[in-house]
A and B are shown apart, each in its own frame.
Chain A
Amino acid sequence: MPLSPPPPLGARMLPEDSYKGQVVMVTGGGTGLGKSIALEFARLGAKMAIVSRKPENWRQGVEAIQAIGGIAAGASMDVRDAASVGACFDAIEAELGPVDVLVNNAAGNFEVPADRMSPNAWRTVTDIVLNGTFYCTREFGIRRLNAKKGGAVLNIGAPYAATGGPSTSHSAAAKAGVNNLTWSLAVEWAPDNIRINDLAPGFFPERDRSTHAVEAGASAANLDEQIARRLTTIPAGRVGSARELGWLATFLCSGYANFITGQVIVLDGANWLRRWHSQPFENIRESYDRRAAAAQAGSQ
């Protein structure tokens, strides 16, 4: 028996207009989980700022929010470039007003054993995840401190930040850095009423994710196979629905959570808590090679 299914898409957890008058920025908010999180804030009345590197991505997010009657603006941002981050904040704030809530969702990840990982691969992932989160958070923090206004930051983390991530060591190291940054800044900025938390999702499959293929050989096309395989290993007996992330995100950034800061919360149906004997060990490098070869054979 799986964990109960969530309430339907569109169900509102918090009171209507909980975010009325507030501007919420979601990096990487045009596709996948970022878009789903943005939609839940929009349902509660927030003015949404959807930023991503590619215009075609943030446009998707803006259109999705407008389609449910929400307010959204989009802009391009490369989170790896502090100057681009500042310029993007300027553009968004000129259109919507000051950003009250920042969701650091932009990320990059792909499976590769460390011995096959090029220095460039390491730099790219850590640059997006760790440096990008810092640049965006710093830009947001400076603006809120100068304005003498509080705010909330939500980092989107990963359960494997706590356990290590064999075959995604670049992402795991960077996400662990993000967790630690969450703790440091929670203390630094609490006196100025800026809260910062981290939400670490388990497996939340999304068909429109721009960079979904974390596993070698995985693609949006074979998502059903991926889900079926994962279902045999997740204690919850079901995968997550993106709206469940959105509900927790909107709770954590709301006034109901005014005393919650510096928290890393894993939302994964207890998957990361499984002990080793619940799952046979797999040699990461061998399984990577096997799946990569199978994917290559399938594409020929």
Chain B
Amino acid sequence: MSLAPSLPPGTPMLAPDVFAGRVALITQPGDVIGAAIAAELARGGARIVLADNKAEGCATAAAAVAEVGGSARTVSVRLSDAEAVKRAFDDIERELGPVTILINNVPDRADIPVELMAVDRWRDTTQAVLDVTFTCTRELGLRRIADGQSAVIVNSGTPYNITGGAGAADITAAKSAIMNLTTSLAVEWAPYDIRVNGVAAGYVAGAEAGPAPEGELGATTPAGRLGSPHEIAWCVAYMCSPYAAYLTGATIVVDGASWQRPGRSPPLFEPIRTRYDRVANSG
């Protein structure tokens, strides 16, 4: 009783040359989703650049790119520092050419109730999520508006944009702000052929953070399972491809309809018909 399992990782979706000649920059790629996106874009022929505050944050994604036969350039840069980001773009573009795909990835963080959340944690999260996304996005936009080249940006949203994310108030607020930024920039930059979209991932297998152990989490979702990182990556690949040339301002939630169900934590989700039958039979 669940949604069908993910297609196996590595199942080809787009043509192997769909991103040929393009440079894709993925920021904060340290989680399983960042690695899967890097691998999927590399599979489509993109040249991959991974950037994080510390170089070791890029290691997993670089290995994932190598596994599909690509090679990734890694950059260590303070991503919330506009001047440092500008210099990093200078270096990358001098070496590889213009960046035309930007993935503003945001690894999840462990849940924490607000009354236990130090102000520093709030500032740290909003900076890591919102400031980094804005800084890198603005730098890319300035460059592509100046040289007239088409580009596409994929941001990291949250399934809890509408319902709130009790237990993860900091990251949910910041990612909701990013979803709003996504819509504003889609309109501002459509005339420059810069598309801005987002993917809001539900819980995926192998993510480091979550409100409960993985085994329990899957059972609490309508889908009956967690997402696979590759399912997020396929959605991102579609958004970056020319087949999505008219898609901008959209954030797609990839979560197996988990957010529509009121209540984010256990008790275990009971399928509607099971409950209906149980209640009907008990009368």
Contact = CB atoms under 8 A, between A and B. Distances in A.
A140 B67 CA distance: 42
A9 interface: no
Nearest to A274: B187
B14 interface: yes
Contacts of A266: 249-250
B242 A6 contact: yes
Contact of A259 (B190, B192, B255): B255
B133 to A, nearest CB: 18
A14 B260 contact: no
B4 A1 contact: no
Contact of B222 (A3, A190, A267): A190
Interface residues of A, number: 53
A246 to B, nearest CB: 10
Contact of A258 (B187, B231, B243): B231
A6 B186 contact: no
Given A259-B231, A261-B223, A191 B190 contact: no
Contact of A262 (B187, B241, B260): B260
For chain B, which range describes its interface: under 10, 10 to 19, 20 to 34, or 35 or more residues?
35 or more
A188 B272 contact: yes
A164 interface: no
A283 B186 CA distance: 27
B273 A188 contact: yes
B1 interface: yes
B253 to A, nearest CB: 6
A117 interface: no
Interface string B256-271: 1101110000000001
B196 to A, nearest CB: 8
Given A256-B234, A259-B202, A187 B261 contact: yes
B244 A248 contact: yes
Interface in B160-212: 183-184, 186-187, 190-193, 195, 202
B224 interface: yes
A203 B6 CA distance: 33
**Residue from A184, A191, A192, A244 with most neighbouring chain B CB atoms (10 Å):** A191
A2 B272 contact: no
A186 interface: yes
B63 interface: no
Contacts of B77: none
A235 to B, nearest CB: 4
Given A190-B223, A256-B7, A265 B193 contact: no
A273 B249 contact: yes
A6 B256 contact: no
Given A6-B243, A188-B273, A236-B248, A261 B187 contact: no
A79 to B, nearest CB: 24
Contacts of B271: 188, 191-192
A267 B250 contact: yes
A7 B181 CA distance: 28
Interface of A: 1-7, 11, 13-15, 150, 183-184, 186-188, 190-193, 195, 202, 235-238, 240-241, 244, 247-248, 251, 255-263, 265-270, 272-275, 278
